[in-house]
Chains A and B, each alone.
Chain A
Amino acid sequence: MNENPNSAGPSRRAFLRGSAGMFASLALPLRLVEEQRPHFAPRAKSVLFLFMLGAPSQLDLFDPKPKLQQLDGQPMPDSLVAGAVVDQLKGRNLVAAGSRFAFAPRGQCGMQLSELLPHLGGHADRLALVRSMTSTIINHVPAQQMLTTGSIEAGRPSCGSWVAHALGSDNGNLPAFAALLSGGDPGDPPPPPHLWANGFLPGKSSGVVLQSGAEAVRFLADPPGTTRDGRAQQLQTLAALDRLRQGQHGHPATDDRIDAYRLAFRMQAEVPEATDLGSESPATMALYGAEAGSRSFANNCVMARRLLERGTRFVQLVDDGWDHHGQLVRRLRQKAGEVDRPIAALLTDLACRGMLDETLVVFAGEFGRTPMNQGGQGGDRYGRDHHGRCFSIWMAGAGIRGGAVVGATDELGFDVVDSPFTVHDLQATILHLLGFDHERLTFRHRGRDYRLTDVHGQVMRAVLA
C-alpha cells in the first residue's frame, strides 16, 4: 500500500516534480486501502512472470535427450507413442527429431542447458529447472488460460490479479499488476487480454498493459491544449463541487471517486517516469541489449525492473512467437536470441540491487513440444508439434533453491518419469512464496468460493530453498 516506507519517497518526489508543488490538496495522502494479511511469512515480495507465448521447445532449450539424437529420423518406438493424442501429427508416422542444438553443463551445479541460452547459463546456479511439468491440454488458447488463470474456462482471474487482489501494490501511484507485451509478427493480433484479466475479482486487480513513454497507460496523457496546471485546477474545482454535493447526499462512495481522480493525476506524473527508459545508464541498456524507443522484450525487461523497484507486485512479460511447427531451427534461434541476454541481464541487475532475494522469477510456456518431427529432417519443415505430456519451466529468486534440476522425462522426452508437476502446482508454489495458502486464498463468486488452483495444486517443495 502507499504507506510503505520503501516507496513513499520516490512517489512523492515524482509528484512534486510533476506539479511544481502548487496544488497541495492533490498531494494529500489517500485513504488506506483495506489491509491484506498473508497466511504466513512470505519469502517473495513480488513476482516476475516471463510467459513465452506459443510454447518454446523444451527439447532444444532445457531437456537434452541424447537417445533422441541417436534415433533422429527413425520412427518413435511404438511402446511409447501407441494411442497418444498428438495434435497435427495425428495419424502420421511419428518420427524422432533429435535437437539440432548442443547442450553443455553450466554453473557449479552442472545443469545442462542449450547453446541457445549462453547468457542464462551464466545464472544456472540461481535457477531451479523443472523438467517434469505436465498437462493434458494441447490447444494454445485453453492452455494459455490454464497457465495464467488455473482454468480453461474463460472469465477467471489471472494469477497476477489474484496476487494484486491479495497484496495490493507497494506504490499507490502505480498499478499492482502490470503486463508488458512483445514479440509476435507484425499484423498479428496482440496477446489476448484475458491473460492479465481480473475475471470476477475487483477491477483494481486487473493487469494494466504498460508501454514505454507518455502513453504508457491508456489515456495517461492530457489531451492536446491541456496543461498540468490547468488540469490540477480542474480537479480542485471538481473535488470542491463533489464535496459540496456530498454534504447533501452524504454518500461515502464519493470519497472513492475523489481519491480516484487524485490518484489518476499522480499516475500521470509517476507512470511515465517509471516507464521511461531514457534515464537508464547506457551501460545498463547495453547489458540488457535494450534500445530506448523500440518495442522489444529487452526493453520490457528493463521496464520490469523499474516497476518492481517502485513497488509493482506482479509483472507479467508476455513474449509472443514461440509456436515453431516448422522452420524451428531458424526461428527458435531467433527467439532465444531475443530473450536470452535480457533475461540474464535482468537476473544480474535484480541481484546487484538486492532485489532478487525478494522477487520470484518464473519462466514458462503454456505446454511443451513433441520429440517427434512435424516436417522433413532438413530445411523448412523441421519442427515440433504441441506436446502437453512434458515441458520445462524454471524459477529463480526469492525462496528458490538455485541450481536444482527437478523431475525427469524419459530418454526420448515423451513422458514424465519422475516428479510430475502441473500448472496448478506451479500456481500453488507462487502463492506459497508470497505467503498464501492456495487453498485458503478464495473469492466468492456466483455462490462458489473460487481459487486460482481450482480444486488442485500442491506446493512444489523440491524447488524451494
Chain B
Amino acid sequence: MGTTSTIRLAMGLACGLAGGAAPAAAQGAAQGGALWSMQAPVRPPVPVVADVAWPRSDLDRFVLARLEAAGFAPAPEADRATLLRRVTLDLTGLPPTPEELAAFLADPAPDAYERVVDRLLASPQHGERMAQWWLDLARYADTNGFDFDTDRQMWAWRDWVVQAFAGDMPYDQFTIEQLAGDLLPDATLSQRIATGFQRNHAVTFEQDGQPGEYRHQYVADRTATFGTTWLGLSVGCAQCHDHKFDPISQRDYYGLYAFWNRMDEKGLVARDNPEPFLELPSSEQGSELLGLERQIAAAELQLRQRVRAQQAARAAWLQTLSATAVPDGALLHASLQSAAGDATSDGGVIEGLGTAGFVDGVRGLALELDGRDTFLQCGQRADMDADQAFTASAWVRVTAKEVTSKHTVVAKIDEAQDARGWRLSVDARGEVQVQLVAAAEDRLSAFTRTTIGFDEWHHVAFTYDGSRRREGLALYVDGVAAVLGGADAPAQEPPAGPPAEERPKRLVGSLRNDGNLRIGGVDGLPLRGRIDEVRLFARALTGAELAAMVLADFAAMTGAERDALGERLFVQHGEPALAGLEHALAALVARRAELLEAVPLVSVMTEMAAPRPTHLLRRGDFLQPDEVVEPAIPAVFGALPEGAPRNRLGLAQWLVRKDNPLVGRVHVNRLWGWVFGQGLVATPADFGNRGERPSHPELLDWLAREFVDGGFRHRAFLRLLVTSSTYRQRSDYRADLAAVDPDNRLLGRAGRWRLDAEALRDQALALGGLLDQRVGGPSVMPWQPADLWPKPSKAGDRHRRGLYVKASRALPFVAFQLFGAPTRDVCTVQRERGATPLQALVLFNDRNFAEAARGLAQRALAARCEDPSREDHERLERAFAWCTQRRPTAAECAPLLDLLAAQRQRYAADVALADAAVAIGDLAPAAEVPTWQIAAWTAVAAVLLNLDEVLVRS
C-alpha cells in the first residue's frame, strides 16, 4: 500500500542519515541489551561545528553538526512577527494580540524574544495548552463510553492538570501524583484527585454484560496507557503472548497489569462516575453539609428519645387500628397469596426463570422475587390514559443488595412502544419514582427526595389527577406525602439536562399501550425483595385515604416485623408532635440529598486493603487464568529496589529515577514533538525495536539528561527549545533539502503544520473577539447540530476554550473530530494533520466559525480609521493583520476588496439575505451598521479565517 511504503521509505532515509544502521527488528529475538532505548542515556560530548556564530546553545550544535555533515546550512531566522505568532501558538494555543505584536516589534532589547517566552510560559493559557496535549494521552472524556455513554465528572482532574502545568510542577512529581498520589504519606486532596489519570478510560454498565470481561478490559487499558505514556512501549502486545519484537514477556505484562489490578472496582458501574470516587464540595457546600449533618443527627436523636418516651401511648394507639378501613372501589387488588386465582382477587402468571415464592407479608403472604427478571404478569389490564385520574399503591420490602437498576413495583408499559405507559418503582438508592410516558420525549415523572430503607416494609403509592401536568402527580411513602425532587429522576436522566423551564409542562400523547400489567418487574428492571397488596384505583386517593389504608393493612399484620413498622407508623400517624419532628427531619434529609447531588465528583485510584491476586491469563482470555503473578517491572529493567513498595508508588518512584532509560527520553521526545512538529523519534509511542531510531540520537540523550538532571522542569526545558536558533529558523520550503529530507528530519527549517482542532476554534473565537478565557470548571457544550447536542450550554458558556468543550465519546464535538481530535477511547500520542473537504465545510459552515467570522467583521467595522477615504482599505489591513500578524500586500488587498464590493452589492440588493447572515450565533449584530455592510464584511472575514496561513503555524 502506498502509505505504508512511503512511511517505510522515510524510515529508511532517517536510518541512512543516522549512519546506515538498519533497524534491529529481529523478530522474536529482541534482547534488552541490544536495544538502544533500554540503556540509560549518557550525556554525550557536544559536537564541534563549522558555523560557530549560529548556535545559541548546545542543542543547536547537535542540530547544526548533522546539517553540516549532510552539506546544508540552517535556514535564516524568521522575522519577529512570524516568530511571535509561532511561539504564542505553540506555548498557549492562541494567536498573539495586536498589542503583544506591537510591543514585541517595538522592543529594542536584545532579550526581547526571551522575555516574550517567559511571559508566555507564565501565562495561565500555557497551563491549558499543555493540558490539552496531556488529555489525549490520558484519554480524558466527560462521558463513560461504551453503549450508553452516560455523563461522568472528571473535570476536577483536568483542572488539576492545568494547574500542575501552570505551576510548573516537575515531571517526577507530576508522574508520582498521577500514578500513586493516593499512596503518598498523608496524601492531600489534590494528590488523590491527580490519580484520576488512570480512571479516565471508558467503562460500562451494560446490564446484560459479563462484568469479569469488562473489568479485565479496564485493567488492560490502564496497563497499556501506562506503557505508552511513560515507557513509550506497546506493552499491550504482550497480553496474549510474549511481545514479538520487544523484550516484554507475557509474564512481564501481567507483572505490570498487577499494579493496576488492585483497586476495588466493578466491571459494571453506576451510570455516572465509576467508583471509587471523591466528592468535592465547594467550601459553601461543605459547610452547609456539615451543618445539615449536625442538624440531622440532633433531629434523629430527639425523635428517638421522644419515641422511647411514648412507648405506652404507642401500644395504646396501635390497639385502636382496624384492619378493615381500606377504601372501596379498587380497580384491581392483588393480595398476592399465591400466583393465581384463590385469595388473589386478581391473579396472573409468574414469568421469568428466576425464583418466585410466597412468604410472610403485611396481610398474609407476600410475593418474593429474586431480582432475576421474574415478575407476575397480569395481562392487558389497567390501561390508564393521561386524562384519567388514578392511583397505584403497594407494600414493598426491597432487599439491600447492590444493584444499579431500578426495582419495578408495578407497571403497565410496553417496551416496544418507547416504554409507553405508567410505572411505579424504587431506584437503587431507595428513591420512589413514578413515570408516565407517552413517547420518548413526552413524559412526566417525579421522585422522592428522601429514600426508603432496605430490608424493611414500606408502603409506596402515587396518585395522578389526570391533568397531564407534573403538579398532578404525588408520591406517598407510608401514607405520608413525600417531598419531591427535580422534574426528572436523576439516575435515569443525564445530569446535563435542560433547565426545568424548558421541559414540556404538559403530557401530550396517550399512555395507553399493548403491554401487560406487571407486578415486580418489567424487562430488565426487576424487583429484588417482597411485594404485597398491590392496589389500583381509578381516581386519585386523598392522603387521608392512603393513610387509612396503610394503617388498616398494618392492623392485619402479624410476625416479627410488626413492631418495627408499628414504631415508624406511630411516628408518622399516631402523634402529631412526632409527625412534625419527622417531617422536619425529612426536609433536612431531602436538602442534604439535593446538595449532595450538586457536589462535583471525580473518580480516583485506591488500593484494596487485601489486593486481589493477578493471574497470567492464557491467550489474554479472562476465562483462562493461569499462575499468580506479583506486581513487578519487566525483567529487562531488573527489579524494583529492595525496600521499595510493591505497589503503584514503587512503580512510579522507579519511573522517575535518574537512571530510568525510557521515561526521560520518551517525555522529552514528546515535548520536542509538541514544539517542533515531530519527535526526534518519529514514533513517540514506540521506543521498541519496531519504532524508528532517533534522527539525532546524541541530541535526544543530551536533552533527556538536561531535563532529568535539571529536575524535570517543563518550563525551563521548553524555554531551552523555543529560544534555540533551531526553533527560530524560517519555515519556508527548501527545495534543496526536500529532495533528500522531505520530512525535515534534519531540521534545516522550522516546521509548518495545521493547528490542532481546539486551537483552530480558539483562534477563530479570539479573532472574532468572542473567546471566553475563564479557566477550569465543568465542561461546556457549544452549539453543534441538534441531533448531536439538542441542548447546548447557555449562551454565556458557549465560547470557552476547546479544552473545556465536553469530550463525549459517543457524541463527540464533530468539528474537533473532523480535525483529528481523538475520540479518547484509548491513549493517543499523535494526531493526524491531513486536510480533508469535511474540514473546509466546518470552517465555512459550522455556526461557531460563521459567528466568529462575523465577530471579526464587526471588530473591523468598529475600528477607527485615520483616512476616511481609505476606510475599506484600512479596515481590511487591520483585520488581515490581526489574523496573520502582517500587513497584506497590494496584490493581496485587491481580490479581497473586489470580494467585499461584490458581496456588498449582493447584500445591499437583498437585505433579507443580509439579515439572515447576521443572525447566526449569539453575538448581537453591531448596532448602527446596516446588515448588508456586516454581511459583506463577514464574507471577507470568513476568507481571512480560512487562509492557509491562518490555519497553520509556520
List chain A positions with a Cβ less than 8 A from chain B: 34-36, 85, 87-89, 92-93, 95, 136-142, 152-155, 165-166, 185-187, 189-190, 192-194, 197, 202-204, 208, 215, 217-227, 229-231, 233-234, 236-238, 240-242, 244-246, 248-254, 256-261, 263-265, 267-268, 323, 325-327, 330-331, 334, 373-376, 378-381, 385-386, 441-444, 446-449
Contacts and interface: CB of A to CB of B under 8 A. Distances in A.
Contacts of B913: 225, 227
Given A88-B373, A326-B523, A378-B349, A197 B943 contact: no
A217 B841 contact: yes
A220 B845 contact: yes
Contacts of B919: 224-225
The 7 A-B residue pairs with the shortest CB-CB distance in the complex, in nearest-first order: A225-B917, A447-B690, A250-B733, A447-B686, A376-B351, A186-B440, A154-B825
Interface string B801-827: 000000001111011011010010110
B305 interface: no
A165 B4 CA distance: 11
B418 to A, nearest CB: 6
Contact of B906 (A152, A215, A227): A227
Interface stretch (B141-149, B629-637, B719-727, B865-873): B141-149
Nearest to B620: A152
A203 B834 contact: yes
A234 B785 CA distance: 24
Contact of B217 (A85, A142, A251, A256): A142
Interface string B873-896: 000000000000000010110011
Contact of B835 (A153, A257, A334): A257
B560 interface: no
Given A202-B832, A241-B892, 7 more contacts: A34-B3, A85-B210, A233-B902, A240-B895, A250-B732, A379-B351, A449-B4
B208 A225 contact: no
Contact of B914 (A225, A233, A334): A225
B837 A95 contact: no
B22 to A, nearest CB: 15
A346 to B, nearest CB: 25
Contact of B234 (A85, A222, A448): A448
Nearest to B379: A379
Contact of A241 (B245, B829, B895): B895
Contacts of A185: 418-419, 440
B353 A373 contact: yes
Contacts of B820: 203
Given A331-B416, A447-B686, A250 B735 contact: yes
Contacts of A137: 213
Contacts, number: 298
A35 B440 contact: no
Given A187-B440, A204-B836, A244-B891, A155 B825 contact: yes
Contact of A237 (B148, B515, B895): B895
A250 B733 CA distance: 5
B916 interface: yes
B836 A260 contact: yes
B237 interface: yes
Contacts of B939: 226, 230, 234
A376 B350 contact: yes
A381 to B, nearest CB: 4
Interface in B550-586: none
Nearest to A89: B353
Given A234-B942, A260-B836, A447-B686, A141 B785 contact: no
Contact of B920 (A186, A223, A237, A323): A223
A249 B730 CA distance: 9
B373 A326 contact: yes
A334 B810 contact: no
A327 B416 contact: yes
Contacts of A260: 835-837, 839-840
A364 to B, nearest CB: 18
Contacts of A242: 947-949
A156 to B, nearest CB: 9
B933 interface: no
Contacts of A257: 835, 948, 951
24 contacts: A34-B2, A34-B3, A92-B353, A139-B210, A141-B146, A154-B202, A192-B149, A192-B809, A197-B823, A202-B832, A202-B834, A221-B845, A222-B845, A223-B844, A256-B834, A257-B948, A325-B373, A326-B415, A376-B349, A381-B352, A381-B375, A443-B1, A444-B4, A447-B692
A168 to B, nearest CB: 10
Given A230-B906, A267-B837, A448-B690, A251 B1 contact: no
B3 A202 contact: yes
Contacts of B257: none
B7 A444 contact: yes
B836 A203 contact: yes
A379 B825 contact: no
B845 A447 contact: no
B785 A218 contact: yes
Nearest to B443: A187
A221 B731 CA distance: 35
B312 to A, nearest CB: 50
Contacts of A253: 752, 835
Contacts of A326: 373, 415, 523-524
A201 B372 CA distance: 44
B373 A381 contact: yes
B834 A381 contact: no
Contacts of A220: 841, 845
A319 B488 CA distance: 29
Nearest to B896: A237
A92 B372 contact: yes
Given A223-B847, A224-B920, A217 B838 contact: yes
B899 interface: yes
Contacts of B300: none
A443 B845 contact: no
B265 interface: no
A225 B910 CA distance: 10
A31 to B, nearest CB: 12
A252 B835 CA distance: 12
B354 interface: yes
A446 B683 contact: yes
Contacts of A139: 206, 209-210, 213-214
A187 B418 CA distance: 9
Contact of A246 (B373, B817, B948): B948
Interface in B252-280: none
Given A242-B947, A378-B351, A165 B234 contact: no
